[in-house]
Structure 1
């Protein structure tokens, strides 16, 4: 008759409880959702460094950082909007409008060159927020209209794009785009400070918690006493302000208000934010993830340029395919966490 005595090695060993397994699955899903883009970025950078001698050079990395800084500033504002459950399609046009206004204002000094685009672009964001929050119009429609309006205003200022306003390369304003403190471009330093401040604002303040609450469940947030309308107005104003600032810095960097920029930037910003782990449905997102998403898109673009034999259009193909994969993965992970 077989012995019923428990083997010593098995003494005290129990099977994991179903709840423990579910919690572990939850943690894994959350980590994958938040840090998946960072893993992809590190892997791509490592492969590119081994494949192309010029990739890991100081000049190339500096160029990636500078080009990323403008999109990252726009994506920072977009992060707040998407976390709140909205979308802002106007940021590309607001970006180019900010650059044109900054270049025009630079003839009157640095203060005007900065304050003019910030005031006008923040006002556009404020109008977006008021229309979304007070009238109940869909953010897609509202910001699509403001995208066209901002582009039209830029064309009116520049005589249908025929006029290009130049920035004095020796001015203080130009140094904001072309300076290199400690060998790193000034726009990169400014973007880093903005992201630190944005992370603190979103994660560690009452305003940030309201943004999450509104994006997670607007009705529940209203029942808890959260100022839903004011929160929406604030995030759209912030988005317009940051898009205008990015445009001004870009004008300082190029020493001109280039009118052909900004097309499709809103899609790049949305892609970067979503790739970084922010849910398009709102209620969940990370400022740091958006920065990683921007860097990943820019590294992909740089690698395609390194290859040389591929047309630049492949950047959009790769970015679009990558975005689809990320959205599918996010949906699956979110469902996995709910089920768990």
Structure 2
């Protein structure tokens, strides 16, 4: 007598594929939403830039002309160099309000030093501005002072040095138009201004440093959680000192290149530039709270600000004050969007 075989009615045939467990479906949705939120934070400014350029090119015949694009690229280069250093500072959770004054001081020192040759014109502003950035970093990292207060004091101090060098602003130093230093600001290579090439090279180096070097890992770690970074062995103090020194160095270099472009050290420049640099960095996706940011995003943020300013100039009927209004409103929208995206990622 044979014993009947009990085959379960819900058995899955060998060739059939079992449905994925429900927990996989539940995990896939939040993971996908988190990836979309991260992409929006990283590439939102780039999409906005493309839309703005497309709209401006359709609205104004002179927007895409060679002269307009060339002038916009060169004028963007100086702010971009300042924003590069500011990116490192903000990723660590800090802020640097001194870069505008350091930019002006670097330009004046470069113009004064140009009478002694190109080497002095470049090295003098770099050395002085980097030294001021080093002092900022030491006070912030070693003395535990607030970055806002320290860099605000440095902003006032740098402006005071500038006034002392220029006899209370009454003296303007000129750069010889035929000198090699002037060619660094006014020269072209392949139809593109030399300051633009220098800026692109610096951004490539900055991106590689931030993403591929141990120092870049320390920068992100300090901005993400300073106490945890210290427990993991990261040199928190040295990292902070380095980023503020780098910020001062970038501001001094930008000022020197600007002096070469204008062939003079203009004392009134740099006012409010620190706010422009912070705006560009934040618009590019770097969080003011630290621990998250992109070098390429800061460059996109600079270009977006310059496109907005150029469009306002193209309109012609609007006062230049509208540039600040539009930039401020745009920055507020970006910060609110970043805050919302950050909260959404934490919830997911």
TM-score normalized by the length of structure 1:
0.96
Q: Name the structure 2 match of 1:8.
A: none
For residues 160 and 298 of structure 1, the distance between their equivalents in structure 2, rounded to whole angstroms, comes to 31
For residues 313 and 198 of structure 1, the distance between their equivalents in structure 2, rounded to whole angstroms, comes to 33
Shift of 1:12: 6.9
Q: Name the structure 1 match of 2:121.
A: 113
For 1:119-151, what per-residue CA distance to the aligned partner results, in whole angstroms no more than 9, with x for missing partners? 000000000000000000000000000000000
For residues 19 and 153 of structure 1, the distance between their equivalents in structure 2, rounded to whole angstroms, comes to 58
Which has the larger Rg? 2
Q: Name the structure 1 match of 2:191.
A: 183
Root-mean-square deviation over aligned CA pairs: 1.3
For residues 12 and 107 of structure 1, the distance between their equivalents in structure 2, rounded to whole angstroms, comes to 80
TM superposition outliers: structure 1 runs of 4+ over 3 Å? 11-16
The answer to whether the aligner puts 1:249 opposite 2:279 as a matched pair is no
SS in 2 for 1:135: coil
Equivalent position to 1:153, from 136, 161, 169: 161
Equivalent position to 1:329, from 291, 313, 337: 337
Shift of 1:18: 1.5
SS in 2 for 1:219: helix
Q: Which runs of 5+ in 2 are unaligned?
A: 1-9, 11-16
Shift of 1:109: 0.2
Equivalent position to 1:262, from 270, 291, 314: 270
Residues 1:307 and 1:13: Cα distance change in structure 2 (over 3 Å):
farther
For residues 278 and 202 of structure 2, the distance between their equivalents in structure 1, rounded to whole angstroms, comes to 18
The answer to whether the aligner puts 1:221 opposite 2:221 as a matched pair is no
For 1:80-134, what per-residue CA distance to the aligned partner results, in whole angstroms no more than 9, with x for missing partners? 0000110000000000000000000000000000000000000000000000000
Q: Name the structure 2 match of 1:51.
A: 59
TM-score normalized by the length of structure 2:
0.94
What is the number of equivalent residue pairs in this alignment? Answer: 332
For residues 18 and 34 of structure 1, the distance between their equivalents in structure 2, rounded to whole angstroms, comes to 25
The answer to whether the aligner puts 1:67 opposite 2:82 as a matched pair is no
Shift of 1:17: 1.2
For residues 347 and 28 of structure 2, the distance between their equivalents in structure 1, rounded to whole angstroms, comes to 14
Q: Which runs of 5+ in 1 are unaligned?
A: 6-10
Q: What aligned pairs does 1:78-227 form with structure 2 within 5 A after superposition?
A: 78-227=86-235
Shift of 1:327: 0.4
SS in 2 for 1:159: coil
Equivalent position to 1:313, from 311, 315, 321: 321
